[in-house]
Amino acid sequence: MTDPRPLLRDLAFLYLAMAHVTDDYLTDAELEAVTAHLHARYAFLERAVVQDEVMEALSDFMEAEDTFQAARTLVEALEHHLSEEERADVLADLRGIAEADGLVQERERSLLDLLARRWALTAPVGAVSPPPSEQADPQAWDVVHDLAYLFLVLAYGTDHELSAPEVQIILNKLKEWQADRSEEQVRAVLQAAMERYSQGADEASLVASIEAVRDALPEAQRMAVLNDLIAIANADGVFLDSEEDLINRLMTAWDVAAYANYGRHGTKE
């Protein structure tokens, strides 16, 4: 029987490249997704063996001078070692890895599309964030979209993961800000914010949303937004220093104060 480990390690390298493509950061959720997908593909191997190969691939990945070019070379090589069905399964795995942190970003979608074209496959469906063709009319962007963007920056940008509890509380908070809109319309606002964020979150976009909220909402409502953000920060049970830093920045920018006791022990008294 041919030793499966060289091919396993090549796949692990490609899967790690997908996890790393947007932010040069590998979350625990992404690493677990890589291992889980590969173990499902190589179920006849002990999970520990798969984990070892993933870690070896990670070592190779961190030492590569140009990881994206190395991944492209692997894509070409794997085309000749995998059947069409196996390539389709790998592409589906890569979609799962892209979704593991809760947000499929633009560069991840681009890499998936590149693989699909190279391997003459149909790109897998089920994106967490909508493709560009489905994004909301830019003219429809309003202050609630800026709120959604800030909620995402706090929930995703501080730890590179968007958990199910965080998504749900963001939807709940957005609904409170637009009670006259349907659930579908609320989700459309979040999707539009996710699309903008996925195209590359930057300081200019963050500042624009901070200033839009400051200019559009009176002090009492800015206070309410601040405490919504505190609730979102606590949604996953962990209040990070980076989340606290962002909240402190907003307190200064909006000239408001949070409740006296917030953070690791609750949102407010």
Break the chain into its structural domains and give their ranges: 5-118, 132-254
Tell me the pLDDT tens digit for each residue of 131-190: 443 444 444 788 999 999 999 988 887 667 777 788 889 998 998 888 778 888 888 899
Candidates 60, 55, 72, 88; CA nearest to 21 is 72
Q: Tell me the CA distances in angstroms from 243 to 26, 130, 240, one per residue in order.
A: 19, 26, 5
**Candidates 1.10.3680.10, 3.40.50.720, 3.40.50.2300, 3.90.1150.10; CATH matching 5-118:** 1.10.3680.10
CATH for 132-254, options being 1.10.3680.10, 1.10.760.10, 3.30.2000.10, 3.40.50.720: 1.10.3680.10
- pLDDT-based confidence at 2, cuts 50/70/90? confident
Question: Which of residues 241 and 150 earns the better pLDDT score?
Answer: 150
- The verdict on pTM exceeding 0.85 is no
Are 169 and 232 a contacting pair, CB within 8 Å? yes
Q: What is the pLDDT of residue 145?
A: 92
Q: Do domains 5-118 and 132-254 have the same CATH topology?
A: yes
What residue type is assigned to position 197 of the chain? Y
Q: Which range, of 109-113, 147-151, 184-188, 239-243, averages the lowest pLDDT?
A: 109-113
Q: What is the pLDDT of residue 107?
A: 67
The DSSP 8-state label assigned to residue 120 in this structure reads T
- Give residue 137's identity as a one-letter amino acid code: D
